[in-house]
Amino acid sequence: MTYRYHDESIVKALPEDTIFVFGSNMAGTHAGGAAKTAHLHFGAMKGVGRGWSGQSFAIPTMNEHLQQMPLSQIQHYIDDFKIYTKNHPKSKYFVTSVGCGVAGYTVEEIAPMFKGISHNVIFPASFRPFVEKALPKLNQHFLHTVFSDAVIFAAQPEEAVAELDLTENEKSAAKIILNTQIYPTDSNGRDRIFEIQDILHVLQGKVFNFQHSEDDALMFGGAILALLELYSINEKDFADTWLGKQEISPPKAASKSKK
């Protein structure tokens, strides 16, 4: 399942059908971070530390004494939220980095708890590797198969990916890469051309000999940038994997839970 994502910048307004989802404490103090934003701009009520109020939805990550909740308890409240989104399908849900601020947890610990939620959710971009299908290990075969003109410039990328000699998880990753808007602007309207040009400069002659028009080269480089961001790697990692010098494991959820 593929979700929509936001760039985690501070928002002060959302469409009427979109609910602001934030991490809270059971006391409902809403004194800082996304909770304060929810109170100031999205109708979160003081004293309401759980569930819907105004244009917001609170997921507790701290107790009434402002102490960190155990992950197992947070999972319980996230499961409640999953049910809420399923029962209210006409609304969209703008999820912030719940539990990753004052509560002190990491994205790797929190994001996997949302896996399998309804499709009407907009996640922070950092959650992506943990809520999509499991990402595959990057290897030479995957890169050579996906980063070809026949795939990158296909009129129907989804159909092109379906025909590739890849596993289902690899096809899922390929679709994420090809569907990630980077060029001419990314999904948040930011110009990424200088970043793409830097990538092309580093890889030219070492991995590729680009013989494309400028627009096509930038589109190709944009797909590479999408991969680098998805796996949190750099151009050298890409080049070494392309040349078969290494394989790269995907981002994984932390195996240790905080008590």
pLDDT in tens, 33-87: 999 999 999 999 999 999 999 999 999 999 999 999 999 899 999 999 999 999 9
Burial of 83 (0-12, 13-18, 19+ CB in 10 A): exposed
Asked whether the whole model's pTM tops 0.75, one would answer no
User: What CATH code is carried by the domain that includes residue 46?
Assistant: 3.40.220.10
CB 173 within 8 A of CB 138: no
One domain, residues 192 and 85: no
Does residue 168 lie in a domain region? yes
The one-letter amino acid at 36? K
Looking at the fold, whether 120 and 12 belong to one and the same domain comes out as yes
| Total tally of structural domains belonging to the chain | 2
Cα separation of 11 and 188, whole Å? 13
Q: Mapping DSSP to helix (H, G, I), strand (E, B) and coil, where does residue 254 land? A: coil
Distance CA 175, CA 178 (A): 5
The amino acid sitting at 118 is S
Nearest to 25 by CA among 15, 12, 34: 34
168 and 101 share one domain: no
Give me the amino acid identity at 244. G
Shared domain for 157 and 234, answered yes or no, is yes
Instruction: Summarize pLDDT for 87-119 with one digit per residue, the tens.
Output: 999 999 999 999 999 899 988 889 989 988 999
Summarize pLDDT for 122-178 with one digit per residue, the tens. 999 888 878 877 789 999 999 999 999 999 999 988 889 999 999 988 988 898 888
